[in-house]
Amino acid sequence: MNLDYKIDKIKYGVTLCENKETPDIVNNLNKNFFDKKVLLIMDKKLSKNFSKYLFKDLSKINLNLTLLKLSANKKNKNEKVLFKIIDTLIAKRFTKKSVIISCGGGVIGDLCALASSLYLRGLIYYHIPTTMTAIVDSGIGGKTGINYKGIINSVGTYYHPQRVFISKNVINLMPHREFMSGVPEIIKSGVINDVKILSLLDNNRIKFFSRNYKFLKELIFRTLKTKVKFFSKDVFENHKRLNLNFGHTFAHAIEMTIKSKNKDIIRHGEAVGIGMLCEIYYSEGKSRKYYFIKKLLEKYNLPTNINLFVKIKNKQKICREVYKNIFLDKKKIGKYPRCIKILKLGKSKIIEMRNNDKIRKTIDKVLF
């Protein structure tokens, strides 16, 4: 199953692979004229079996293959790791006809995409997402980035993977939390555009938990179609594409607040779920839409507040920190941060958050 689209008349696409252990990248590489140099960048924690199969597949053709393994921890999404990739490209004398293949979640994908866009002003790259959040959201759309001076994605470009390969085998091997944390991004697509996604999730919990690939393919395909619809005509996020940020203004502020030097306490998708509730509460309080999304998150055992991740005794300090971080959001233009208002399920619009008291009340009432 393929989803193809064009950006400035250039063709890109997604392939949902079926029964092979690894995605069929080899045939795609053979169709492109390149100098046989490939940098394969992989998440260190990726299944050894999958890594072995992928390496074996790529070895079938006469490639000059370099392997670079990176930690996918959010704290490594920085300039130091970015230049480690670029230094590898320089050391191996990669040219404009060389290729990068990234294999990982959002952190690996963002780093590799940014390196691909910067080195020699652009290399072809392919992406194999290995978390559900990367499959349904960050894997396509062309956003690249690193976190700089504590601000999420403050340095980045727009640069698209030639093709994204979604592997059945990767989904089956995915750790449970990585699998589940993609659900809020799927819900987001249903809320802003395709309400059929919401009914699929609401009525097929067992199929999702059992990783029924036929069901997941439909869910993933619909979610990606929604994303393509919004970004293909607004690549640089000037208007329509901003709707894809539903939940993200509060989510990024939560992620920036709840952090650890040693581990990722909260997954991005988990923060997006809580962020969606915040943005609906800011617009209309605890409405029917608010409770519908809350119940759907709970049905999939996902957090609807941050009590799991923080100590309640630090509540006031955390509230102040989240409030401050909202005003660092990159979507802010001028004085006011922006969020997404849901007009009805399937339809949304961008609004400015002009009421500081409402922002504070939202943080207090939803996060705890």
Q: What CATH code is carried by the domain that includes residue 102? A: 3.40.50.1970
Boundary residue ending a domain (174, 195, 221): 174
- Do 229 and 272 belong to one domain? yes
Give the domain CATH number at 311.
Answer: 1.20.1090.10
pLDDT at 33: 63
Tokens of 58: 């790529």
Is there a single domain that holds both residue 268 and residue 342?
Answer: yes
**What residues make up the domain containing 19?**
2-174
Let me know whether 148 and 225 are in one domain: no
| Pair 40, 129 in one domain | yes
**In the block, residue with structure tokens 């999404």:** 77
What is the pTM assigned to this prediction?
A: 0.94
What pLDDT is attached to residue 68? Answer: 95
Instruction: Give buried/exposed letters for 37-52 (b at 16+ CB in 10 A, else e).
Output: bbbbbbbeebbeebbe
Percentage helix, strand, coil for the chain under 3-state DSSP, each rounded to 5: 50, 20, 30
Question: Could you say which of 159, 174, 189 is where a domain stops?
Answer: 174
Residue 166 bridge partners (DSSP): 16
- Same-domain check for residues 16 and 103: yes
In total, how many domains does the chain have?
2
Is residue 143 located within the same domain as residue 216? no
Tell whether 193 is covered by a domain. Answer: no
167 and 217 share one domain = no
Phi, psi of 33 (to 5 degrees): -75, 115
182 domain-assigned: no
**Domain annotation covers residue 184:** no
H or E segment to which residue 340 belongs: strand 338-344
DSSP for residue 142: -
Q: Give the Cβ contact number of residue 347 at 10 Å.
A: 13
DSSP single-letter state for residue 143:
B
Digitized pLDDT (tens) for each residue of the chain, 368 residues in all: 899 999 999 999 999 987 666 677 777 776 656 888 999 999 998 877 777 778 777 877 778 999 999 999 888 999 999 999 999 999 999 999 999 999 999 999 999 999 999 999 999 999 999 999 999 999 999 999 999 998 999 999 999 999 999 989 899 989 999 999 999 999 999 999 999 999 999 999 999 999 999 999 999 999 999 999 999 989 999 999 999 999 999 999 999 999 765 567 899 999 999 999 999 999 999 999 999 999 999 999 999 999 989 887 789 999 999 999 999 998 888 899 999 999 999 999 999 999 999 999 999 999 99
- DSSP conformational letter for 215: H
Q: Are 39 and 100 in contact (CB under 8 A)?
A: yes
Is the residue at 77 inside a domain? yes
| DSSP reduced 3-state for 333 | strand
Q: Is the residue at 187 inside a domain?
A: no
The reply to whether 190 falls in a domain is no
26 lies in the same domain as 128? yes
Say whether both 207 and 352 belong to one domain.
yes
Residue 20 has a pLDDT of 66
**What does the block give as tokens for 240?**
């329509």
Tally of residues, the chain: 368
* 197 belongs to a structural domain: no
Could you tell me if 85 and 233 lie in one domain?
no
For residues 164 and 283, membership in a common domain is answered with no
Report CA 13 to chain centroid distance, whole Å: 16
Residues 141, 243 within the same domain = no
Is residue 227 within 8 A of residue 234, CB to CB? The reply is no
Cα 290 to Cα 119, 180, 203, 301: the distances in Å are: 44, 20, 19, 17
| R_g over Cα of the chain | 20
Is the residue at 180 inside a domain? no
